[in-house]
Amino acid sequence: MARIEQPLSQAYTPLSIGPLTLRSRFIKSATNEGMSPDGVPSRQLVQFHAAMAAGGVGLTTVAYCAVSADGCTLPNQICLDRATLPHLRALTDAVHRENGAVSAQITHGGCFTFIQPPGQGRPLSASGGFNKIGLMSGQYLKREMSVADMQRVAADFANGARLAREAGFDAVEIHMGHGYLLSQFLSPLYNKRRDDYGGSLANRLRFPRQVLRQVLDAVGDELAVICKFSITEGVRGGNSIEDGVQIARGLAAEGAHLLVLSAGLNAESITTMFGSSFPPENRAVVTNPVMKAAMFVQSLVEKPVPFRELYLLEHARRIRAAVDIPLAYLGGVTSAQGVAQLMEEGFDTVAMGRVLIHDPGWVNRLRDGQLERSGCTACNRCVTMMYTEGGTSCVLNGPGNVVLNRTPAAG
């Protein structure tokens, strides 16, 4: 093994987040893999996350685990319930055999959903009225959550965290970004309430903080409790980085063990999230007509954005200066130099998605001096591939880079 030098070597040292100690500072960020037919984790999904652990990440994240049936955004999304536990246990056991840790991202889609909620009711959101997301799915109206609704959903998050613990997860990541339910409370674009949960940023943060508190109370002594949020929404009228700083302070004060610093919104500013445009040819590989329409609309409203490494660093520095809890930088890490710079600037972990989809063994290869830079081109085709039969994969790796075993994990 080649010798690695400071500060890159810092990324290969242990880190404690809450009750969990990671073996390295690398996190596989949550990316919807599209590998859970009928909502059941497949053997393919198990292999995907086991490969991340074998490749050297300290923590791999299973994306989009809905905490209730009415919280699902997509068909075939994992829902945390007793029926899924044996299959999730097969996944966590596989990751642990590779000496890695694994996190369940727990979420509720709110009005960002492409399926009809149970009971044929309107999807829930911070505010009611017209649902612009529903233009893509025929759900044109959304319902403002009552306090009773919020109490139920907060309890669902806590129960989902307990089920994650029972399934063998080492951490839960509460999704507060990208336009899902908790983000809909945080964002002035969605939250038009006039009560204690709307108006000022402190009020808009109130319900997400309540969810965090209930999850901490439920599992915080045994699991790391992580929050992922958009430090800037990247769109006129949305949260700015100044708002992101205040959100980070509020979540830190509530007791979060780690913050994952993402950005953007799925519908309004997806290039802010990914740091580069989605090429028009992406639409050709998607069979879902709703997603085809969404991509077409985004191509009309968003200007082309070229990729640059560490594209969120300027914003993330503002968060690092404002809070003293562990932070995961997310946003275009592609090289040894980039990792070293983040370590030097005081970020505790490095979260990556596309680079690890391209090469699950990248972390170990970087350590061993086999490479200095990822071959990922940030073309974003892997994001599109989640909506295809084979699920998420890197188009640069050629046929056969994903094992198409769609059977249940514990089957």
Query: In this structure, are residues 323 and 252 in contact, taking their beta carbons and an 8 Å threshold?
Result: yes
- Secondary structure (3-state) at 150: helix
- The tokens for 201 are 């940023």
Considering just the CA atoms, what is the radius of gyration of the chain in Å?
A: 20
Which residue out of 64, 180, 329, 387 is catalytically annotated?
180
Name the nearest CA neighbour of 12 among 2, 312, 324, 258.
2
Query: In this structure, are residues 100 and 23 in contact, taking their beta carbons and an 8 Å threshold?
Result: yes
Query: In this structure, are residues 147 and 141 in contact, taking their beta carbons and an 8 Å threshold?
Result: no
Question: Look-up: residue for tokens 């599209």?
Answer: 34
Beta bridge partners of 130: 141
Query: In this structure, are residues 231 and 244 in contact, taking their beta carbons and an 8 Å threshold?
Result: yes
Give the angle subtended at the CA of 183 by the CAs of 182 and 184, to the nearest 5°: 90
- The tokens for 34 are 């599209």
Neighbouring C-beta atoms of residue 26, cutoff 10 Å = 30
Query: What b/e readout covers 155-177, taking b as 16+ CB neighbours within 10 angstroms?
Result: ebbbbbbbbbbebbbbbbbbbbb
Question: Which stretches of 239-348 are assigned E, i.e. beta strand?
Answer: 258-262, 327-330
| Residue type (1 letter), 267 | A
Is 180 tagged catalytic? yes
The 3-class secondary structure across 372-391, one letter per residue, is: CECCCCCCCHHHHHCCCCCC
| Residue type (1 letter), 381 | R
The rounded Cα 290 to chain-centroid distance in angstroms is 21
Residues belonging to the active site: 180
